[in-house]
Chains A and B, each alone.
Chain A
Amino acid sequence: MTVINVTLPFGLIKKVDDYSKIINVILEQHISVNILKFSTGRSGINLLLDIPEDKINSITEALKKNDIIVNKKGRVIIDIDLCIDCGACVSLCPTDALHMDEKGLLEYSLERCLGCGLCIDACPRSAIEET
């Protein structure tokens, strides 16, 4: 699964039913989806969606065809020379992009990172940077 961040612009919302537009577009692809976060942004309704990795292109296309904005993915980088594998960032990450492996070493998966930035000021070694 991979995470995408999409926005339904306010301009597209005329009646209550329109709120489900994003979900309908995805459901038409006959796949399952997890909604990780639902929030009201400055320009529209924001959704964080967990979708199957192999469907990312077809879903992105379908969303764009319906004027739904697929946001560019943000990301962070971890300076492994500074990181001491403490784990203080892990509990902040909403998508498990940051997690500990079997041995207790920090693992970061770029595909899952939303660039939400929640982890950045949680790191006591200033090892996480926004790109």
Chain B
Amino acid sequence: MNLAKARGALLTFSGALGVALVLIALIMLSLDKAPLAAGRRFLDGVFGTPSARADVVMAALPMLLCAAGLLLTFTAGLWNIGVEGQVTMGAIFATIIARTIPRDVSEWGILAALILPAELLLAMLGGALWAGLTALLKLRGGINEIFGGVALNFISVNILLSLVNGPWRVGTFPQTAPFASAALLPRHPELRLSPLAIAIALIAFGAVFMALRGTRFGLALRAIGRNAKSAGILGVRVERHILWAMIACGALAGLAGAFQVLFTRGRLLPNISGGIGFMGVLIVLLVGVRAAWVLPVALFVATVPVGSLKLATSLDSSVQIDAALGNVFQGALVLAVLIGGGIRARLAARRKERAEHG
């Protein structure tokens, strides 16, 4: 991509950011809050301390995983809205092992080292299963992946609720007991940070990036996304590729679900995904399927829930807001970016025309 284009994209993004910020400021003013002070508190809450920065990074990881998977499906022209359910299934599948791990595993020896890989693999399997189901509904049943995905999201939420209300419930709240530390992703001694999780997410993202760039699989997905009929005539096995793109995305989403239970929450509870699948969709929409931008945008998007949580728990009532305002901000931002992109495309067309006339 050339420099001018990158600059244009950046400009659109900052413009959209400005619009979304102004909107949020107006809402806060109407609620008698102090937007500037809140803004300062927000920035402090996400960048101010090492622990704040660690929170942002860790919040970004599951989103990054979902976004990476969605890059594959969006490239193939698939709207994998079912990603949310795939995250949930990943969390559930990881819990199958995690909840059985005892506090003390010192006698397990080498087996103890297998706990985490087994959890992560099972989580990927769970997500992949759910995504594969969506793909089969599409390919064999003719059900659009959006509808199939929405239905499976609904089912996965209900499976989750019935588990944490039923057999897996421990105590008064509908949730499992906290998992033993041997079942969790290893933590940095001082910060709320898991270097292993960071490494896994980056490797997964790198793999997707490379797959899209340099492999036959990635090229085939691109061809399918643009014209599935022609891709078939060129010898691409369209159905198989659609199935694999969905399964890969589901596996990555399942991994994100595992991160939620094995690090962020440390147990399985309702709404375990917390919307990170949809955040993944937003990220991919924001970057317009340009893989390289996913990394910074995921970090940026992750500041919003982290920062708004800090505001929500603040004791100062002039900045204390509901965390839902963060979601409003995110929605407004995505809308503004999409509109900005549209305006930019139109301006570019007009400019080009004028240049050609002149």
Query: Are A and B part of the same complex?
Result: no
Chain B contact residues, CB within 8 Å of chain A = none
